[in-house]
Chains A and B, each alone.
Chain A
Amino acid sequence: MILAVSIVIAVIFGSGAFLILQRDLLRLIVGILLISNASILFVMASGLSRGKAPIYPLDGASVSDPLVQAMALTALVIGSSTAALLLALVYRLYVSHRSIDIEDLSTAEMEAADALERVNVTEFDRGFRDEPVQEEQADERELEKEEPR
């Protein structure tokens, strides 16, 4: 039993780790979900050493610790909410970058960083993080537009 569970955890974890190394962000998310599910299985396994799973009705046989089941359920809930969050983030990234390839995103990041360096080296007085004035005004107009809703 212990060997079987360990192998399952190892396979799930390994697949997750493999997917995390992919360029496609959706695969990366699936990889993270697999790894977090491996950890939940590990939680379950930490209590599965005394008997059968504690599922009602109990037939008198010794059952394993039910506390880990509660912990696993909690961890699953947390996992599902973070999965929704990650998918939303990827969707948002797709909308703004028209790509979910990690290379494209890091290129965009690099460009932003380069622009930042240039601004700071050549134009001291502008300072960092002060977005150009026009952009800020545009931002405020956008805000006003949204307000009445």
Chain B
Amino acid sequence: MSPRTKGKGASSFGIGTTSVLTETVARVLLLPTVVAAVAILVKGYAQPGDGFAAGVVASLGVMLQHLALGRREAERLAVVRHAPILAGAGLVLSLLVATVPLLLGDPVLTHYPRPGGHVIYLGTLELITPVLFDVGIFLLVFGSVVGTMNAFARTISEEQEYAGPGDSGLEYEE
């Protein structure tokens, strides 16, 4: 493995240092990624897109922070610190949307308003219960991907701190 300098610019996964350009681009790209994710989420009812894809895109934005700026910088985002809670909340939300129809006497996963019913539009977005379900999926995917990556990053950086500079602690002999 190539020698590295450990500093603010070190990536979370021990891949070496990053240049100023990468860091700046990573910072700038965070917001647009989130906007793109929300667009994918909202458009999912008339065009390709859904909560899953949106979650993946949004988590890619956060992953970029990890890779370019390192764990400490990435953890300054509150969503990164509380990713597991987000994932749990997303799953609960989706499950509730799926099971609440049971209380109303309909089968699981029934969506409201029923086909043909009156729908409120917000631009092109139809306000129907599947949107809530997809928001839950979005949170679940985002939370679990970010949470997993954060856990990896934390373990690796703890190991590196333990091993001290100069030894990545990750090398192995072939």
Contact = CB atoms under 8 A, between A and B. Distances in A.
B152 A100 contact: no
Given A99-B172, A100-B172, A91 B155 contact: yes
B73 interface: no
Interface in B137-174: 144, 148, 151-152, 155, 159, 172, 174
Interface size class of A (residues with CB under 8 A): 10 to 19
Interface residues of B, number: 11
Binding site of A, secondary structure by majority: helix, strand, loop or mixed? helix
A56 B47 contact: yes
B123 interface: no
Binding site of B, secondary structure by majority: helix, strand, loop or mixed? helix
B48 interface: yes
A88 interface: yes
A55 B48 contact: yes
Contacts of A77: 52
Contacts of A84: 148
Nearest to A76: B52
Interface string A53-91: 001100000000000000001000100010010011001
A94 interface: yes
Given A24-B174, A73-B52, A88-B148, 14 more contacts: A55-B48, A56-B47, A56-B48, A77-B52, A81-B144, A84-B148, A87-B152, A88-B151, A91-B152, A91-B155, A94-B172, A98-B172, A99-B172, A100-B172
6 contacts: A24-B174, A77-B52, A81-B144, A87-B152, A95-B159, A98-B172
